[in-house]
Chain A
Amino acid sequence: MDIEKVAKIARINLDENEKKEFEKELKEVLKIFSELEEVNTTNVEPAFNVIRIINISRKDEVKPSLRIKDVLKNSKHTEKNYFKGPRII
């Protein structure tokens, strides 16, 4: 596993110790996971849902939205009813 690449995709910073530690631990876990290759799954459908329910959807009817104060309540960074965030690049 290229742990640096994965950490970058996941937006988590790791120091050198953590990289080594995680790499070791995760390798051990992945070894267990590779047991799955032993199983013959030809013609087996993947189980997306456990219980068979299909075609659940809702009607296209407007319901009240959140009050603006509740929208922003838990955010540290807001400006004039917008959420404030870091620049993209």
Chain B
Amino acid sequence: MRIKEYLRKVEKGEILPSKEIPRIVEKLDKLNEKYSCFITLNKNPRITSKKGRLRGIPVVIKDCICTKGLRTTSGSKILENYFPVFNATIVKRIEEEGGIIVGKTSMDEFGFGTFCTNCAFNLPKNPHDITRSAGGSSGGAAVALAMSDLPLLSIAESTGGSISCPASFCGVYGLTPTYGLVSRYGLIDYSNSLDKIGVMGKSAWDCALGLSVIAGKDSNDQTSIGEEKDYTRFVNKKYIEKNISGKIIGVPKEYFGKGVDKQVKKIVMNAIKKYESLGAKIKEISLPYTKYALSAYYVIALAESSTNLSKFCGLRYGLATEIKGNADEYFSSVRTKGFGKEAKRRILLGTYIRMKGYRNKYYLKALKVRKLIIEDFKKAFEKCNVLMAPTMPFIAPKFNEIKSLTPAQQYASDILTVAPNLAGLPMINVPVGKINGMPVGLHIIGNHFEEGEILSFAGAIKW
């Protein structure tokens, strides 16, 4: 059942959330045994009587977002038994609108991963083929949607592509809003200048509904900006008809290069061409700084995340070992035990590039390159309304293929998503086709605060 239909039935009284939700949770529990997409299921959710826009909707939340009283691990052993004493702002907003939090979804530890294989707990499996990756780092969020027909709203998070990638691999819609549009209060940080909370759904409309509830300035996050808005009207048929015609779709040639699978390119290009029949025009453009986006992204993300992870040291919260030895020994023992390999790698790299003597070369340099990349996009949006490209360079890889990749090769898989994430642009993955049963995603990227525009394109065609 789709969310729209579920809401209608709840309003009519045909579905009673108090009865339906426990049934849904039971189903999720069973499915979880097969697909491992939940770290924590909320087996006794409080069913409120709030009659808002999400009345009675079961909501699943990526486990890096704090839910008061409900275990939140950020996919890491170091927070294995952590129970936040406060709610993230988006959780408050969802509950205010009648949404019911039923589970916390699997993820790469602290968001560190492209394939959701760096998980301390459940490693999620792609419902289209359980020998393949669900995509990362919001793997569980995408799997929870793709594995059944349940009317779930799935909240996820993206730093370098962590919403787009799993959405692409699992064949669902995944919306990453403009940086700052959705409050990060209560989001366990990966990289503060890059993290964005977003929505996954079975349709553009679902994403629009979710965004309408969570978006808008929050006084608890001083980098948040934007008014609350109803985004579902952009997915309205009449609006779409008027909107698409005459618009210019920019296709960046750098996103169709050698590193992208031929079949993926073909499927995505055909999908883009379909918009011509709705009156849009296609224009080939160039984003010359694209090749530096991967480095700039990783340098900044690693620098920030290595400081964010310093707080986990066995004091105040989180994993703790026996207190013996001095502070340095204690901190090291806790951190060595609690962090996975990828987390350690990133902390080491992130620490190195901030050190005296390297800081100028890497960290400060990357900040400047980021500026150039943002300007690249700004120039493109002077001529185009949206940009379109493949979301990922290939379909979901098999787990054993991933094992043979070096970290550098894994990082390189992000080439298509890092640049718009670095620039804080809104983007949405649209499932437009399949290769051997595995989903292929079209990425629609908009200018800052143009969520309405990309949603309207995303909802324009039924794939």
Residues of A within 8 A of B (CB): 1, 3, 6-7, 9-14, 18, 22, 25-26, 28-39, 41, 44-51, 53, 56-58, 66, 70-71, 73-77, 83-89
Contacts and interface: CB of A to CB of B under 8 A. Distances in A.
Given A10-B348, A53-B180, 13 more contacts: A1-B352, A11-B313, A32-B294, A35-B292, A39-B289, A44-B372, A47-B371, A50-B422, A50-B424, A53-B223, A53-B225, A86-B324, A87-B327
A22 B366 contact: no
B325 interface: yes
A28 B408 contact: yes
Contact of A36 (B193, B296, B406): B296
8 contacts: A12-B336, A14-B344, A22-B344, A25-B345, A32-B411, A50-B179, A51-B448, A86-B324
A37 B266 CA distance: 34
A37 B103 CA distance: 45
A1 B295 CA distance: 18
Interface residues of B, number: 72
Contacts of A49: 193, 223
Interface stretch (B33-41, B134-142, B166-174, B357-365): B357-365
A35 B291 contact: yes
B128 interface: no
Interface in B323-364: 323-333, 335-336, 339, 344-345, 347-349, 351-353, 355, 361-362, 364
Nearest to A45: B371
Nearest to B374: A47
Contacts, number: 173
A78 to B, nearest CB: 9
Contact of B326 (A12, A26, A35, A88): A88
B75 interface: no
B348 A26 contact: yes
A36 B364 contact: no
A73 B351 CA distance: 30
B251 interface: no
Given A10-B347, A74-B83, A37 B361 contact: yes
A26 B346 CA distance: 9
Contacts of B369: 36, 39, 41
